[in-house]
Structure 1
Amino acid sequence: MSLIDRFLDRAIRRGQLTVTFPGGRTRTYGTPDPELGDVAIRFTDGRALRQLLADPSLGAAEAFMDGRLVIERGDIRDFLNLATANNRWEEGRGTLDASTLRRGIDSVRFRIDRINMARRSKRNVAHHYDLSDRLYDLFLDVDRQYSCAYFTDPSVPLEQAQLDKKAHIAAKLAIQPGMKVLDIGCGWGGMALYLHQMTGAEVCGITLSEEQLKVARRRAEMAGVDDKVRFELIDYRHLTGQFDRIVSVGMFEHVGPAHYRTFFRQCHRLLAPDGVMLLHTIGRAGGPGVTDAFTAKYIFPGGYIPALSEIARGHEGLRMFLTDVEVLRLHYAHTLAHWYDRVVAAKDAIIDLYDERFYRIWTYYLAGCEVSFRHGGLVNYQLQYARDRHALPITRDYMMETEDRLRAQPARPYPVSAAQTTV
């Protein structure tokens, strides 16, 4: 039995994967399972097989991107779902782990990349977030929320789930009218605008993306609230002032472990003595690791998903109370499923914007992330901090009461693109 046969026999047990190899040999692995279906793929050359064996994640990604791994039945999400459902994080099988040599190389690369100096941070952010606005409009919600939504039920539409996410976070912040709020990593401004609209707070959003900054400022100006909601192009390490509340959604993944202490120390410095902070980040369900080679190379250079233990080491000793911890398990899987479906529906438009290879990269990225939350070791953490033990009520009831009230209030949409100005 060949090495690839032994690998696939171990990797695929439930559901069926039919593989056509270079030269025409065909074999089916696994057993029928209606939940996982029947997927068929074809390798066009031997190099794709060697890459897959050395590093299943990066090897499959690059072979798919280059057209050397062809999906003949199902799609890339079906293929990745089948593979990861057979290797769930809870089971600890590690069948899809890279080879020992590959892991060693990745570890060295990660140690170099993790030194995420300020000058590299801006470049890394631009690599991903300064892509065409049109691309993001094709798959995100109308507020262009590019982070995990909050699904009160899996059947909830994406637009509502993103609104509910903002209400969920706003409730935890316990904002009062007139408070000063800092949004670290404000994206296109949706969270900052929502917080001002729903609570009356004055909000400062900061970003390292020049393209996001332009959009956020334009939105505030069009809404006539730019005197209350302002946006700045600045690294969090260089910001001065003091704020009653700090929120950061989907930015901590770009900080880098070497700078967690710096991040929390700066947040402590910026937070008022009775202030409250909410950190929303993708996290590892297990211990520290390394960024997978595909994500580091093609999607988020310099990015790293932290373990909860690493976050804790970042804030320990700074005299901040960790007042609430919530683990969102499947919410990002549901979010990514919506994004993936929208990207597939917009295939022709995305190819027109870029090319077929970019489309394949993007679908692999979204599908791979979805199955990582559905079967792998990724979750979302929402961590609430306070500098003073009396800053918040001593039970969580206020969160639910405020969230219910916010969700009952209709939020006015702020246009992101010119096409939305009549919304």
Structure 2
Amino acid sequence: MIDKMFYKKLLKSTFSIPAEITFWDGETVRYGDGDPHFKLIFRDVIPKGELIQDPSIAFGEAFMDGIIDVEGDLKEVVASMYRSQESFLGNGKIYAHLLKKISNTAKRSKENVAFHYDIGNDFYKLWLDETMTYSCGYFKNPDDSLKTAQQNKVAHILKKLNLQKGQTLLDIGCGWGELIIAAAKRYGVKATGITLSEEQYERVKERRVEEQLEDLIDVKLMDYRELKNQKFDRVVSVGMLEHVGQEHLPEYFQKVDELLEMGGLSVLHSITSQKEGATNSWIDKYIFPGGYIPSVSELVNHITSNKFFLTDLESLRRHYEKTLDHWAENFENVLDEVKKTKDERFIRMWRLYLHACSASFQTGNIDLSQFIFTKGTNDSIPLTREYMYNEEKCG
């Protein structure tokens, strides 16, 4: 009885829209005015101490274990929690001190990347698009397919890099190689990709042979910090900075400064937050160990502190929401295949991850930012942003 009173008080202010809750004893309670948008079913009690200590992990694990079920749109449930000013889940920042502060050394970074990306190429092939691009797409049109959006994103970044034939390009965190392959084929640049994922490394090696680009593409299985005695005209990083960790952000920009030629240009594509210190302990434990979402102001400060010239900043928040919606739909469509190698707890974990991230972008809890900055002044960049949107002119 005491547990239920605690739950009722907690849930009263959790949702921004009408909701229906069914408790473990069958009692049903409605919150908010109007018809409920979704229904939450508690199969059992979550100890209130766990909810108080860390609501993100308590809620996430309860969903993974089937203690909580959802009837309705899971994304809408999480978005409603984020939108509610009084939600126990929306105030996750106050629990940030509970996260273990473990430095992302080169060894630990490799372990963290393997934890997420080395689940297996076969798994990612099931629900990513054919390009195997695992980052925010770019939807020129609302009805663009996922593959088109990912190809648009690569083209958009390559335009921002203002590539010229014969230049050298470094991709820090190259994934399965789509960007460096496109850069070599379209612009005739010599592209080097770096990854910590053995699965990605092997696939990029295969692709450079398949595309007959061995003379233009190199790929290395290493930590970017270990790259020595090389300079590049362009440095790009897509969806990698989130794995660096807050204390290593200065090191990242110092390394980019070391790797860039004077007058060189870098494009940084990263998930960002509005405020410094954004954390989610469930994501840290189950999805991206050692991850950290930097704030826009943090990154601008690091860019300018290293005497880089910031020339452009663009938000792609709504594009990442659409990307995640595509991934979530694809994931549900291939569940029969996923179930051959993954158990129900893993499936529920991945379902929550995809829908919760989409909700987070939808509500502005997190953003996706693309920065362009140069080492020294660079007057070869066109005077207006028109070059980013014109049809590609390959070198």
**TM-score between both structures, scaled by the size of structure 1:** 0.87
Aligned equivalent of 1:77: 75
Determine if contact 1:253/1:306 at 8 Å carries over to the other structure.
Answer: yes
Indicate whether 1:196 and 2:184 are aligned: yes
Indicate whether 1:149 and 2:141 are aligned: no
Equivalent residue of 2:81, what SS?
Answer: helix
Deviation, structure 1 residue 56: 3.6
Equivalent residue of 1:394, what SS?
Answer: coil
Deviation, structure 1 residue 117: 1.1
CA deviations 1:144-167 (Å, max 9, x no partner) are: 110000112322211111111011
Gaps of 5+ in 2: none
Determine if contact 1:248/1:279 at 8 Å carries over to the other structure.
Answer: yes
Against the structure 1 CA distance between its residues 50 and 152, is the aligned structure 2 distance closer, same or farther, given a 3 Å change threshold? farther
The whole-number CA distance in structure 1 between the counterparts of 2:295 and 2:251 is 17
Against the structure 1 CA distance between its residues 269 and 195, is the aligned structure 2 distance closer, same or farther, given a 3 Å change threshold? same
Aligned equivalent of 1:231: 219
* Equivalent residue letter for 2:97: S
The whole-number CA distance in structure 1 between the counterparts of 2:90 and 2:75 is 20
Equivalent residue of 2:181, what SS?
Answer: helix
Indicate whether 1:384 and 2:376 are aligned: no
1:9 to 4, 8, 12: 12
Deviation, structure 1 residue 306: 0.3
Deviation, structure 1 residue 50: 5.6
Against the structure 1 CA distance between its residues 151 and 32, is the aligned structure 2 distance closer, same or farther, given a 3 Å change threshold? farther
The whole-number CA distance in structure 2 between the counterparts of 1:249 and 1:173 is 13
Deviation, structure 1 residue 393: 2.6
* Equivalent residue letter for 1:95: S
Indicate whether 1:325 and 2:322 are aligned: no
Please give the residue correspondences for 1:285-296 in structure 2 after superposition, counting only pairs within 5 Å: 286-296=274-284
Of all paired residues, the percent bearing the same amino acid is: 37
The whole-number CA distance in structure 2 between the counterparts of 1:150 and 1:13 is 29
Determine if contact 2:16/2:81 at 8 Å carries over to the other structure.
Answer: no
Determine if contact 1:250/1:281 at 8 Å carries over to the other structure.
Answer: yes
2:269 to 280, 296, 301: 280
* Equivalent residue letter for 2:78: L
Indicate whether 1:261 and 2:261 are aligned: no
Aligned equivalent of 2:193: 205
CA deviations 1:274-314 (Å, max 9, x no partner) are: 21110000000x22124211100000000101001221332
Aligned equivalent of 1:418: none
1:185 to 161, 164, 173: 173
Aligned equivalent of 1:22: 24
Aligned equivalent of 2:207: 219
Aligned equivalent of 2:57: 58
Aligned equivalent of 2:112: 124
Deviation, structure 1 residue 53: 5.2
Against the structure 1 CA distance between its residues 347 and 78, is the aligned structure 2 distance closer, same or farther, given a 3 Å change threshold? farther
* Equivalent residue letter for 1:74: G
Deviation, structure 1 residue 80: 2.1
Please give the residue correspondences for 1:404-419 in structure 2 after superposition, counting only pairs within 5 Å: 404-405=391-392
